Amino acid sequence: MRSRLFLPPLFRAMALFFVVASLGVLACDLSTFGLAPAAKPTVTILVPVPGAQLNEGEEVQVQSLATDPTGIVRVELAVDGAVVATDVPPIPKGQTTYTLVQRWKATPGTHTMSVRAFNASGAASDPALLSVVVAPAIAQPTPIPTQVVQPPIGAPSPTLPQAVATQPGAPTAPTATRVPTRPPASPTIHAPPGVYATSIRVDPKEPKRGAFVKFWVTFLNTTGIVQAYRWRIRIFEPDKRNSFGDTTPLDTNIPVGTSEFASMDNWRVTGPGDCLSFFARAFSVDPNSRQEAEFIKPDGSGGPAAQFSVCP
């Protein structure tokens, strides 16, 4: 019969103490050599805020704040689990506090945004999560495939001066000059609701032939977020359907509230001649289809028009 080694309770307690102490020393050694789990960064989504109104097709700006004492080296933005943007700080070895804006083009439906930060040790933060709802775009009427602005059906045709036959040698009667009374009729297609044009002013007020003219437009953004638009000024003669030229399209981020922006100053009237009367109107330009739609006033009464004359 095999005999068993009997240890008194005191010796068993001492043996257990030495085992536990050895494990503690080993853990300290792992931490010393960098084998212990590294601390994780922290990240917070600042914008958009919960409950923000988002619309299909707009560029959503996601602002986040990441911090880590060893330095942030990378930040990832994911939507519904798919990474849509990755950014690194300007400092090569990272920075302890990193605030940045990442962009995502909104699609309709309910989505989950997540932002994760990574530090110099390769540790990733817990994701900062935000659930957003994107409203679908309002269907717009199919535009006529032309950039010529037509007046509404049934609008009266402009009355032009009639030629009067005279006998040879008879004195020539003075010709009456028709004074412009209204801008051309507003088009049937308007820019998307929420961003409006309230007024347009001409710079300089009394432009001369051969000199470039700039147009200042006052916009009103009621959407609650910054809106990006491509826009231009189109210039019309009174009661004329076709424009007398336009400015080069300009990309502008229109902030919330009221703001004023200047158009490109590449429109002018060249050559000799008398004074000419014009109306200036503001249009948005679709970057993809290049179709144009007029900005309207907040009361829906049509687009603002600035009347001016160009003289020698």
Q: Does this model's pTM top 0.85?
A: no
Percent of the chain having pLDDT more than 70?
A: 70
204-217: pLDDT as tens digits? 999 999 999 999 99
Name the band, by pLDDT with cuts 50, 70 and 90, for residue 141. low
HSE-up of residue 12 (Cα within 13 Å, Cβ side): 5
What does DSSP say about strands 59-79 and 109-119: parallel, antiparallel, or unpaired?
A: antiparallel
* Structural domains present in the chain: 42-135 (2.60.40.10), 195-310 (2.60.40.10)
More confident residue, 110 or 35: 110
225-253: pLDDT as tens digits? 999 999 999 999 998 888 999 999 999 99
149-199: pLDDT as tens digits? 555 555 455 454 454 444 555 455 444 445 455 566 544 455 557 899 999
238-251 exposure pattern, b = at least 16 Cβ within 10 A, e = fewer: bbbeebeebbebee
- Count the helices and strands in the chain (H runs, E runs): 1, 16
In this prediction, residue 145 carries a pLDDT of 53
Contact status, residue 254 vs residue 222, Cβ threshold 8 Å: no
In this prediction, residue 29 carries a pLDDT of 47
HSE-up of residue 240 (Cα within 13 Å, Cβ side): 15
**C-alpha span between 263 and 125 (Å, rounded):** 45
CA 189 to mean position of chain CA atoms: 21
- How many CB atoms lie under 10 A from the CB of residue 127? 16
Give yes or no for residue 83 having a pLDDT over 90.
Answer: yes
- What six digits make up the tokens of 224? 């609650």
